[in-house]
Homo-oligomer: A and B are copies of this chain.
Amino acid sequence: MTEEILTPERILEAAEGVLRRFGPAKTTVVDVARVLGVSHGSIYRHFSSKAALHDAVAERWLARKSVPLAAIANEDGPALERLQRWLTLLCFTSRKNALDDPELFATYVELAGEAREVVKVHVEHLVVQITHIIIDGVAQGAFASDDPLASAWAVFYATTRFHNPAHVTEWSDPDINAAFDGVWSLILVGLRSRGISS
């Protein structure tokens, strides 16, 4: 049973469990090895460093977060409604995770903070998803944009306060939903019409 061969996948599973229990500060490579019943040296056969292991855990987490968003991006309904649903899901799930289990959220945020490159790629994936929706919207005549990728970045940045964990302390504000709606309505109108230079 426990005699399965040691794979990166099994190590990641164990590492994630230990990290969730103890947090990144208190988790050692030896702890992870102990859970797996191997020596810590064996882990270095699969991950070049503790940081690389943490990066891989962060990557798994971000990839999981991305799945339901990608589903919306790949639908083919009306783009405007999909964009609203996509942004709402992104912001709402971030907030829900943060408020439901603050310690676990802090753990993942800490891992992500160390894994800058992984986060950068994740963000780029998210923006590509927005870009797809905007392209669909332009095709449908719902949006006007001569540069969907630039528009996607603008939408992502404009909603930063609502999905970036740096703003987690603001998410318990009872007016947060009204604040999001205000920004969403700005985006909505901004995307519908072609931008006019000032």
Identify the A interface with B (CB < 8 A): 80-81, 84, 150-151, 153-155, 157-162, 164, 166-167, 178-179, 182-198
Contact = CB atoms under 8 A, between A and B. Distances in A.
Contact of A190 (B80, B167, B186): B186
A139 to B, nearest CB: 19
Instruction: Rank and list the top 4 A-B pairs by shortest CB-CB distance, nearest first.
Output: A154-B182, A186-B190, A185-B195, A166-B166
Nearest to A161: B160
Contact of A185 (B160, B161, B182, B190): B190
Contacts of A189: 189-190, 193-196
Q: How many copies does the complex hold?
A: 2
Given A84-B198, A157-B162, 4 more contacts: A154-B183, A154-B185, A158-B159, A186-B190
Contacts of A192: 193, 196
Nearest to A84: B198
Contacts of A194: 189
A81 B150 contact: no
A194 to B, nearest CB: 8
A179 B166 contact: no
A153 to B, nearest CB: 6
Contacts of A187: 158, 186, 190
Contacts of A186: 151, 154-155, 158, 186-187, 190-191, 195
A35 B158 CA distance: 45
Given A167-B166, A196-B192, A198-B84, A157 B185 contact: no
